[in-house]
Chain A
Amino acid sequence: MTALLVLEDGTVLEGEAYGATGTAVGELVFITSMTGYQEIVTDPSFAGQMITFTQPMIGNYGVEVDASESDRPQARAVIVREGRNAAPAGRVGFSDWLAGHGVIGIQGLDTRMLTRRLRDGGTVRAAVCSDGTPVPQLLALIGGEPEMAGQALAGEVSCLRAEQLPALAPERAHVLVLDYGVKGSIVRILREQGARVTLLPWDATAEQVLELRPDGVLLGNGPGDPAALPGCVSEVRELVGQVPVFGICLGHQLLGRALGLETFKLRFGHRGANHPVLDVDTGRVLVTAQNHGFAVRVPDGGGDLETDFGPARVTHVSLYDGTVEGLALRELPAWSMQFHPEASPGPHDAREALERFVGTLTEATVAQA
């Protein structure tokens, strides 16, 4: 069945349907990871987006029962060169699975051309259509879709009420996760490290958080523009200094804004599993998984900075474009990472940072006692 990809500038690319048929509209991005399509598609940070995979062969190994990052696909559409539907024993075919979840796909088009266009011109709004909707109508739909900048999307993917999740190892800390669309593997790693996890919805107040007397708070990843979440930022400001705070991805951007820094939209984002990041303290390079369209801006590009909460510093720097990849306050326990230490999918180089988090909370608890 013929499918179309229509860009906001009127470009129309033809391919074949993959996954579900229908029409989807969203922000078109690309990701360069060569493995982990299942984890990628189920990552809530992709809410509102349509994913172009630069890896041409997608769907080679099916979908596994327990490899998803959330309970459903979150991306609005997938764009692939060669979609497969292989279903090894015990797994489901990717195309079938997407179809079952109503996620629309298109295959057979020049995804490299598309990637180059997104790289040079920046991300665009687009539509994928396999139900025969006429192009002018698709363009109208695209026009009605808001730009990603300014969009608050955490509410669409957050849990709706608090959830208690027991530790998967002898319990040694209580971690509160603010769910802006947190990936399942972040929560799982915390629990495996001995944290009892309480998941709170994205709009929980600082008061609600502190009432639960957590040993630490993790500001999770999530979709959308951090600047569109001023309420979340002011709650984070209430938390800093009260309890150890660790931000990942959107959580990092929210912490950055809470400290008084600006965030901005990258031209086409960082999405892949190969981004080198310099750990300023150790001088070591971490190969990281990344998925973000916005970044924190620091004055003078790095080093030490003064914030509303005292001195802070840039702890991690992208070796790819020099953008901020990590922040830490010098005098208060608050720090954050733009990349994904949990990986999933991606290299495990930085996983230790997340694993260590639970341990540092335990030490803090011991020290307080």
Chain B
Amino acid sequence: MPRRDDIAKIALIGSGPIVIGQACEFDYSGTQALRVLREEGYETVLINSNPATIMTDPGWADRTYLEPLDLEGVRAVLEAERPDALLPTLGGQTALNLASLLAESGTLDELGVELIGASYDAIHCAEDRDLFARTMESIDLRVPRSAIAHTLDEARAALSGELALPVVIRPAFTLGGQGGGFATTPAQFDEIVQRGLRESPISQILLEESVAGWGEFELEVIRDRNDNVVVICSIENVDPMGVHTGDSVTVAPAQTLTDREYQVLRDASAKVIRAVGVETGGSNVQFALNRDSGELVVIEMNPRVSRSSALASKATGYPIAKVATKLAIGYTLDEIPNDITGTTPASFEPALDYVVVKLPRFAFEKFPGADAELTTQMKSVGEAMGIGRSFCEAWGKAMRSRELDGIVRTEGSVAGGSWDRFDVIAARLLAGDSPQALADESKVHPWFLDEWSRVSDAERELAAAGGVSDAAGWRRLKRLGISDARIAELTGAAERAVRRARREAGVRPVYKAVDSCAAEVEAQAPYYYSAYEQEDELRRGDRESVVILGAGPNRIGQGIEFDYCCVQAAQTFRSLGYDAVMVNCNPETVSTDADSSDRLYFEPLTVEDVLEVIERERPIGVVAQFGGQTPLGLARRLEEDGVKLLGTPFEAIDVAEDRERFGSVLGELGLQAPAWGIAADVDEAAAIAARVGYPVLVRPSYVLGGREMRICYDESMLRSRTVQPASLIDRFVEDAIEVDVDAVCDGRRAWIGAVMQHVEEAGVHSGDSACVIPTLSLGDEIEREIRAQTRAIALALGVRGLINVQFAVQGSAVYVIEANPRASRTVPFVAKATGRNLVEAACRAALGLPVELAEDPPEHISVKAAVLPFQRFFGADPALGPEMRSTGEVMGIGPDFPTAFAKAERAAGRPLPSKGRVFLSVRDSDKPAATMLAALLQSLGFGLVATTGTARALQRIGIPVETVQKVTEGSPNVVDLIQDGSINLIINSPLGRGARTDGYEIREAAIRNQIPCITTLAGASAAVQAIAQARSVAPVALQTLHAAEVESHAAG
């Protein structure tokens, strides 16, 4: 069937902020969908609250709305735009849930909007556990034995009936299994049941037979309106059942299934997609297989594009989101050509002639106190993928792509779901443990242990021999995925020496294409991976190329923002006539969509892998400034190897990072920085602190995301933890306004993209702080000063490209906190707020081309707010501090700050209450400010609750307040109030972090009960302003806002 002509305008819902369980894979699927809809001539409307996405760049949709993804927000856009259809299957669980809400509330009918891609019934069938279970029974499949509960009593009744511990608890309608868990004791059971009921928007949970230890498999399946079904990819979880698939190590295609076993799964997945009723699109079906008995159960099915389908797309080269979009607008599978081959249709199932391994990236080091055990609730923050011609080669690549910050164990148990169990397995194999014993202990299929033992055997031989003797020896090691760095480590040589010796032996990688057809059809795919093979397939062409180094796996502090920059850079270099070449290993991203660049090398971002690409590619230069800290970490060693960095030279990066040298640059410019020193140990740190004065900010140099950063108010606090060698000790500028500037410099002139004022005071990591464009309370003079200082620093450093400078403004004093001559996390936010393409300007500057960038602050107000993952890390203190812990961000746009801030909070999933009771508990220094907020809240009709100290302060100035006991004072206390839902907002500024203080208990209870909890007075002040003054305004598309900016600048 051809394209549907009865619809002209299609709205797409994005997935909102990056959270655990929902990351940039939906930017990838959304951009693919928008590209298809545009090519097919439809008018498109996009709603997504996440400014860091590529899809929200104004060029992707015709009308782009950065609005909260709640019923109200989406409805407002639909009312304004009146699209014919809504496509909800590309925006993760968020979009699907919104589609359900819009359907159930009658909004779609009322506005005459047709749901395409998945019907309401199909969504409902897949999501409602009970209905899904019955549907599976009707096709002779089964789900694990289970019971539905809506209350704790119902759950307990089920436990005394057909179910026995251990059981799995899954809340309905939550993403990434949020709020679920695995209970082995009655106490755990009660706790997880209560949490699950709260998390589920319909207060429904599923209690399930445990299939822990069974094999876990996923199939990506697509169906069209003619009932054709194709399977795109099989994925085998190396971890047995019990670990959420998002946290599992997975391999594609499935490695340990016979054809008969695989076909059982294939048949079942086709039956599932038909029975659930997905008529046009992709679905992910998860199975548990008891390898001994052959019993098969269906775990779940997602009637939409998912994290796994993004992985499957990258693993196979088959663009699932693109095909799903074409199916949604009327085509059938036999009518859609396979992009890669150009000659075969989309009904040609991919055949792989390589192995793909995906590893999750965890960030437990950011959340001390949190439970690091892997369960059915997802906890990883990113993923890396490796492609190889053998399992071991793919494995080695994926392992070295993780760029770990935390320290892995080398011994200990591998039973259960510890995040570093595979590192332990490798270490124990090397130490001589038997594969079979480790298989028994870990419940990992013995085949994988046998594969890993090939690596450990080779490593043991290598260590014993002390080196590699011939080309065959080199080839064997490289084919096992063992890196030059690892060989260096095992032989005591330098990595460069290892590389030289390997190359002298003539052992170099070749590049093979990912073509979806195992070379059966001649393919045009510019998608490559390295292999130690005979034939190189790279088609380089004659055009000059630029290599863009990506950001690797998402982690806290480095995520989608940098992918945005890399993709923008690729677009720019392409438009300037170069071949844009991308190197990255993150399967979630838009940058690893082969459509984003002229050539994609899916490779680890290590010196070895990047150098090999560069030597094969011979680019005019390499761009390291867009991928965050990852490429910067490589820059020096690449330069040492003679690689030309385009734009800002490494020297400038080094000066900016080196406090001593940066300090003298500031000195020469006559700029102020807080007093500082570099300490080798805690005693030196104390001496520096005594000199510069407390409080001080302590942090290791060369870090991103404020890792290990802390503020110490006195010497005992400073000495309470170790100080790493070469730590920076800065005087901490208290009660200061923090300001961020993103600018572009071409070496002769610098342009200010935007000056951003942080909502939270200095001391809260800029990534976790809300910020606003334009600045609100700096005053013209200080803003001018900041712009001038930024320009001076950019020029002095010799920046050719982007630079971000952070300032602290205390009264009329401006302090330079730091400068980073690279893309910052805020570049995409600036682009959405101002309409300025900073990345394009930076690329031009890097190439020495003329740059033109408007600099005036915009008229409308844009607020960026952070989204924090504490729901996933119970036990970690949610108080904001100098270490970044947010996973994502949202944006609110409005004519004034309160309106924009209220929208941003709504978009972040923390809607501010308009009535009810506010609990206040603040430290003494915050009390004067808190009393003013309390008075305002009272005048707005809120009831006030406080513990003794704060209550007394309020009562003294005549504000009525209810006193409640502290946790330590017995029951009923404040935590009880929070638990029974009688508190609507918490304002709690911490005295110290992490300790088992009263404040900690309160914040922890707030997180568990999902009550908005504000931990800074500045944040509270913004929130109260928003509650008081936010207005309901019609949404405005970015295209309209930016056009208005251009006009007003033209007029001005």
A-side residues, CB < 8 A to B, are: 13, 30, 32-36, 38-39, 54-57, 60-61, 64, 67, 81-82, 84, 86, 88, 109-113, 115-116, 119-120, 272-276, 278, 283-285, 287, 319-320, 343-348
- Name B218-259 residues within 8 Å CB distance of A: 226-228, 230-231, 253-259
The answer to whether A119 and B519 have CB atoms under 8 Å apart is: yes
CA distance A283 to B446 in the complex (A): 44
Contacts of A61 in B (CB 8 A): 256-258, 447
Kindly state whether residue B209 has any CB partner on chain A within 8 Å: no
The answer to whether A64 and B258 have CB atoms under 8 Å apart is: yes
Q: How far is the CB of A291 from chain B (nearest CB, A)?
A: 13
The listed residue (B226, B334, B518) touching A32 by CB distance below 8 A is: B518
The answer to whether A36 and B533 have CB atoms under 8 Å apart is: no
Contacts of B347 in A (CB 8 A): 276, 285, 287, 319
SS of A interface (majority): loop
Given known contacts A60-B255, A112-B519, A285-B334, A274 and B390 CB-to-CB distance under 8 angstroms: no
Contacts of A33 in B (CB 8 A): 259, 351
Given known contacts A119-B522, A276-B334, A285-B334, A55 and B263 CB-to-CB distance under 8 angstroms: no
Kindly state whether residue B333 has any CB partner on chain A within 8 Å: yes
The answer to whether A348 and B266 have CB atoms under 8 Å apart is: yes
Q: How far is the CB of A190 from chain B (nearest CB, A)?
A: 18
CA distance A82 to B231 in the complex (A): 25
Given known contacts A55-B518, A116-B535, A287-B347, A345 and B353 CB-to-CB distance under 8 angstroms: no
The answer to whether A39 and B228 have CB atoms under 8 Å apart is: no
Contacts of B253 in A (CB 8 A): 34, 55
Given known contacts A112-B519, A116-B519, A285-B334, A54 and B351 CB-to-CB distance under 8 angstroms: yes
Kindly state whether residue B114 has any CB partner on chain A within 8 Å: no
Given known contacts A54-B519, A276-B334, A284 and B344 CB-to-CB distance under 8 angstroms: no
CA distance A284 to B224 in the complex (A): 10
The listed residue (A35, A109, A111, A346) touching B258 by CB distance below 8 A is: A35
Q: How far is the CB of A326 from chain B (nearest CB, A)?
A: 16
User: Can you name 13 extra interface pairs (CB under 8 A) apart from A35-B263, A36-B258, A81-B389?
Assistant: A54-B519, A55-B253, A56-B354, A56-B355, A61-B256, A86-B450, A113-B534, A272-B518, A274-B350, A276-B333, A285-B228, A343-B263, A347-B266
Kindly state whether residue B520 has any CB partner on chain A within 8 Å: yes
Kindly state whether residue B352 has any CB partner on chain A within 8 Å: yes
CA distance A64 to B258 in the complex (A): 9
The answer to whether B447 and A60 have CB atoms under 8 Å apart is: yes
Given known contacts A35-B257, A274-B348, A57 and B391 CB-to-CB distance under 8 angstroms: yes
Contacts of A319 in B (CB 8 A): 334, 344-345, 347-348
The answer to whether A346 and B259 have CB atoms under 8 Å apart is: yes
Contacts of B390 in A (CB 8 A): 56-57, 81-82
Q: Write the B330-364 contact mask toward A (1 if CB under 8 angstroms, else 0).
A: 00011000000000110111111111000000000
Q: Write the B478-500 contact mask toward A (1 if CB under 8 angstroms, else 0).
A: 00000000000000000000000
The answer to whether B259 and A115 have CB atoms under 8 Å apart is: no
Kindly state whether residue B262 has any CB partner on chain A within 8 Å: yes
The listed residue (A36, A109, A110) touching B259 by CB distance below 8 A is: A36
CA distance A284 to B355 in the complex (A): 31
The answer to whether A274 and B259 have CB atoms under 8 Å apart is: no
The listed residue (B255, B345, B350, B353) touching A115 by CB distance below 8 A is: B353
The answer to whether A112 and B259 have CB atoms under 8 Å apart is: no
Q: How far is the CB of B346 from chain A (nearest CB, A)?
A: 9
CA distance A305 to B700 in the complex (A): 80
CA distance A61 to B227 in the complex (A): 33
The answer to whether B353 and A55 have CB atoms under 8 Å apart is: yes
Q: How far is the CB of B287 from chain A (nearest CB, A)?
A: 15
Kindly state whether residue B512 has any CB partner on chain A within 8 Å: yes
The answer to whether B520 and A344 have CB atoms under 8 Å apart is: no
The answer to whether B534 and A110 have CB atoms under 8 Å apart is: yes
The answer to whether B520 and A32 have CB atoms under 8 Å apart is: yes
A-B contact pairs, 23 of them (CB 8 A): A13-B534, A33-B259, A35-B263, A36-B259, A38-B258, A38-B259, A54-B351, A55-B352, A60-B255, A61-B256, A82-B391, A84-B450, A110-B535, A272-B351, A276-B333, A278-B334, A284-B226, A285-B226, A285-B230, A319-B347, A319-B348, A320-B348, A346-B259
CA distance A64 to B294 in the complex (A): 15
Kindly state whether residue B260 has any CB partner on chain A within 8 Å: yes
The answer to whether A112 and B333 have CB atoms under 8 Å apart is: no
Given known contacts A57-B255, A287-B230, A34 and B352 CB-to-CB distance under 8 angstroms: yes
CA distance A113 to B536 in the complex (A): 9
Q: How far is the CB of A257 from chain B (nearest CB, A)?
A: 27
The answer to whether A274 and B519 have CB atoms under 8 Å apart is: no
B-side residues, CB < 8 A to A, are: 226-228, 230-231, 253-260, 262-263, 266-267, 333-334, 344-345, 347-355, 389-391, 446-447, 450, 512, 517-522, 533-535, 537
Given known contacts A34-B351, A274-B349, A56 and B228 CB-to-CB distance under 8 angstroms: no
CA distance A276 to B344 in the complex (A): 9
CA distance A57 to B252 in the complex (A): 12
The answer to whether A112 and B230 have CB atoms under 8 Å apart is: no
The listed residue (A110, A278, A285) touching B533 by CB distance below 8 A is: A110
Q: How far is the CB of B1000 from chain A (nearest CB, A)?
A: 50
The answer to whether B447 and A86 have CB atoms under 8 Å apart is: yes
Nearest neighbor of A344 in chain B, beta-carbon distance: B259
CA distance A181 to B209 in the complex (A): 47
User: Top 7 A-B pairs ranked by shortest CB distance?
Assistant: A36-B259, A345-B259, A113-B535, A54-B518, A274-B349, A276-B347, A35-B259
CA distance A36 to B351 in the complex (A): 13
Contacts of A13 in B (CB 8 A): 534
The answer to whether A284 and B351 have CB atoms under 8 Å apart is: no
Nearest neighbor of B389 in chain A, beta-carbon distance: A56
Contacts of B228 in A (CB 8 A): 284-285
Contacts of A273 in B (CB 8 A): 349, 351
The listed residue (B254, B260, B520) touching A119 by CB distance below 8 A is: B520
Identify the interface centre among B348, B355, B521: most chain A CB within 10 Å of its CB.
B348
CA distance A345 to B535 in the complex (A): 30
The listed residue (B348, B447, B518) touching A275 by CB distance below 8 A is: B348
Nearest neighbor of A35 in chain B, beta-carbon distance: B259
Contacts of A64 in B (CB 8 A): 258, 260
Contacts of B266 in A (CB 8 A): 347-348
The answer to whether A348 and B263 have CB atoms under 8 Å apart is: yes
CA distance A119 to B535 in the complex (A): 15
Contacts of A348 in B (CB 8 A): 263, 266-267
Q: How far is the CB of A207 from chain B (nearest CB, A)?
A: 39
CA distance A278 to B512 in the complex (A): 31
Contacts of A275 in B (CB 8 A): 348
CA distance A284 to B334 in the complex (A): 9
CA distance A35 to B263 in the complex (A): 9
Contacts of A276 in B (CB 8 A): 230, 333-334, 344-345, 347-349
Contacts of B512 in A (CB 8 A): 112
Given known contacts A55-B352, A344-B259, A320 and B344 CB-to-CB distance under 8 angstroms: yes
The listed residue (A86, A113, A274) touching B351 by CB distance below 8 A is: A274
Q: How far is the CB of A196 from chain B (nearest CB, A)?
A: 25
The listed residue (B257, B259, B333, B353) touching A39 by CB distance below 8 A is: B259
Contacts of B231 in A (CB 8 A): 287, 347
The answer to whether B355 and A57 have CB atoms under 8 Å apart is: yes
Contacts of A278 in B (CB 8 A): 334
The answer to whether B533 and A112 have CB atoms under 8 Å apart is: yes
The answer to whether A347 and B263 have CB atoms under 8 Å apart is: yes
The answer to whether B535 and A115 have CB atoms under 8 Å apart is: no
Contacts of A86 in B (CB 8 A): 446-447, 450
Contacts of B333 in A (CB 8 A): 276, 285
Given known contacts A61-B257, A82-B390, A86-B447, A283 and B349 CB-to-CB distance under 8 angstroms: no
The listed residue (A54, A67, A88, A287) touching B260 by CB distance below 8 A is: A67
Q: How far is the CB of A66 from chain B (nearest CB, A)?
A: 10
CA distance A81 to B334 in the complex (A): 32
CA distance A272 to B353 in the complex (A): 12
Contacts of B257 in A (CB 8 A): 35, 61
Given known contacts A61-B257, A276-B334, A276-B345, A115 and B518 CB-to-CB distance under 8 angstroms: yes
